[in-house]
Amino acid sequence: MRRRRPACGWESGHGPHEFAEYRKWDGEALGPREGGPGWCCGWTAAEAGVCQMIRQVHVAMLEKARPDRKFRVEVTIRVASELRALYLPDTEDGDDFRLTHLHGAELLLIAGPDAGMWQLVEVLPPAARGMIPS
């Protein structure tokens, strides 16, 4: 699975523009663009927000990582849709494309009061468990 990025490399929200340098997500110039200036079609606020979410999840998991800890990223349907749009399937048909984990944390769809809500939670042992007869 490959992640989409704006042509200029700058992952903060921005409109279409001509660019002559490759840039990091924070706008820092990495160097001149090979072959002269190009055109970047822009990057929406939602795309920038999902990139920021991915970085925040990654940093939080690195800070709290231990072998006995498991995490889950809970996202609303809008966040899941934006996140899925940020990744490209490895296959040409894309039919078997499922985004189920983010930096080792399981993705779980939740209902939330805000359509753009997401949260990283530690998976605790269940308070109760059982089976019902079939």
| Per-domain boundaries in the chain | 2-40, 45-122
130 or 24, which is more confident? 130
Percentage above 90 pLDDT, the chain:
48
Q: What is the pLDDT of residues 12-54, one digit of tens each?
A: 999 999 999 888 877 788 888 888 889 999 999 999 999 999 9
> What is the full DSSP assignment across 6-48?
-TT---S-B--EEESEEE-TTS-EEEEPTTS-EEE--B-HHHH
Which CATH number applies to 45-122? 3.30.2320
Q: Cβ distance 7 to 41 under 8 Å?
A: yes
Q: What is the pTM of this model?
A: 0.80
Q: Cβ distance 104 to 71 under 8 Å?
A: yes
| Cβ-proximal residues to 103 (8 Å cutoff; 6+ apart), any chain | 54, 57, 58, 61
Closest CA to 22 of 41, 38, 46: 38
pLDDT of residue 97: 61
Q: What is the spatial distance between Cα 12 and Cα 48, in angstroms, rounded to a whole number?
A: 5
pLDDT band at 132 (very low <50, low <70, confident <90, very high): very high
pLDDT of residue 66: 82
Output the CA torsion 101→104→106→111 (10° steps): -80
Is the CA virtual torsion 127, 130, 132, 134 positive or negative?
A: positive
H or E element, residue 22: strand 21-23
